[in-house]
Amino acid sequence: MRQTLMAERVALAVRDLAVQFGSEQGVVRALDGVSFDLRAGRTLGIVGESGCGKSVTARSILRILDRPGIISGGRMLLDPGSPAETDLARLKPDSRQMRAVRGGRIGLIFQEPMTALSVHYTVGNQLIEAVRQHSAASAAEARARAIELLREVGIPRPEARIGAYPFELSGGLRQRVGIAMALAGEPDIVIADEPTTALDVTTQAQILALLKRLQAEKGISLMLITHDMGVIAEMADEVAVMYLGRVVEFAPVRELFAAPRHPYTRALLRAVPSILATPRQRLSTIGGAVPHPGMRPTGCAFHPRCGERLGAVCMERRPAPVPPGQAGASCFREEEVAA
């Protein structure tokens, strides 16, 4: 009963988010109308090839897009429907309110544990700074809290490690520090941007288990960005599949794996190595590469690479976007089925 209640509350609702990068060659639309709901206490997986706009989505939510990127449209509602509803797209990036959201409401975990921490300061320095940014704790209290955080993320001998520099830690430990840093401001939403990509397989599994445990303990809403279908299957409750700055399919994780609706999702799933495959079977790949967002194909952006193309309609018209909060795919085949 409690599960369904929690499931109904939406922690973050993104609607028609559009992001542009102005350059000499013209305007590049990195995000072109992205909508999805992140439900409280659940894990939303965001999946797609490199360059499809996953990381831009994460940075837009935190309002830390690199110049010359700007949010050109859409809303990002924190606590939608509640009296405290805030549209992050309307806040100034460096405002006190937005900074309170960053780290305080939404934590961010990075892909590169090597470069995401500064080598010039100790782990403790960087962690304590994050703790004090979002609480009135004294230096001693913040230090105690930082040690506690390191213990929570499973770092042995945290009292000693707090004085270490990042380059003195292994990759796995560094990523744990990264997670501790994201949790330092006690956020209720955590965005993990490819948290395991740079790690070896054993460490990957440990980090994923850690994320799962922390999520359960703290009731965190997790937005997990990855290109790895295995990670999605392991972690996500719902999945948004992105292609060239748009959500092309949204579905509960079981549905997605059992009955993928978008040709792109099907192609992605075929590209996952399977233990059931016959020996020496060639791994399927998706033909071609993701086009540069500045050279977006007309009509459905996926049509040049789509093996199930219908014909002229795919090249000329854009399929309707997936309605937020519902399972569906942005594809003319889907519309045929519905009709």
Provide the binding-site residues for other proteins, judged by CB under 8 A: 59, 62, 64, 66, 93-94, 99-104, 107-108, 110-112, 115-121, 126, 129-130, 133-134, 165, 167-168, 178, 181-182, 184-185
Closer to other proteins by Cβ: residue 181 or 244:
181
179 and 214 Cβ atoms separated by less than 8 Å? yes
CA triple 281-287-292, angle to 5 deg? 145
Q: How far is the CB of 117 from other proteins (least distance, A)?
A: 6
Pairing of strands 43-47, 26-39: unpaired
Q: How far is the CB of 133 from other proteins (least distance, A)?
A: 5
Closer to other proteins by Cβ: residue 104 or 325:
104
Alpha-helical runs (H) found in the chain = 2-8, 54-62, 96-101, 123-133, 139-152, 158-161, 171-183, 201-218, 229-235, 253-258, 263-270, 312-316, 332-338
Q: Read off the tokens for 165.
A: 């520099």
Neighbours of 202 (CB within 10 A): 9
Q: Read off the tokens for 48.
A: 């797609």
CA-based nearest residue to 173, from 220, 206, 201: 206
Closer to other proteins by Cβ: residue 8 or 66:
66
Closer to other proteins by Cβ: residue 43 or 111:
111
Closer to other proteins by Cβ: residue 31 or 116:
116
Closer to other proteins by Cβ: residue 111 or 215:
111
Q: How far is the CB of 189 from other proteins (least distance, A)?
A: 12
Closer to other proteins by Cβ: residue 117 or 242:
117
Closer to other proteins by Cβ: residue 82 or 118:
118
CA atoms within 13 A on the CB side of 230: 11
3-state helix/strand/coil string of 31-84? EEEEEEEEECCCEEEEECCCCCCHHHHHHHHHCCCCCCEEEEEEEEEECCCCCC
Residue 13 and residue 15: Cα distance in Å, rounded?
A: 6
Using CA atoms, how far residue 188 sits from 12, 120, 145, 216, 297, in Å, is 11, 29, 17, 12, 38
Closer to other proteins by Cβ: residue 175 or 265:
175
CA-based nearest residue to 168, from 125, 201, 127, 122: 122
Q: Read off the tokens for 264.
A: 């792109």
| DSSP H or E segment with residue 17 | strand 10-23
Q: How far is the CB of 68 from other proteins (least distance, A)?
A: 9
Q: How far is the CB of 166 from other proteins (least distance, A)?
A: 9
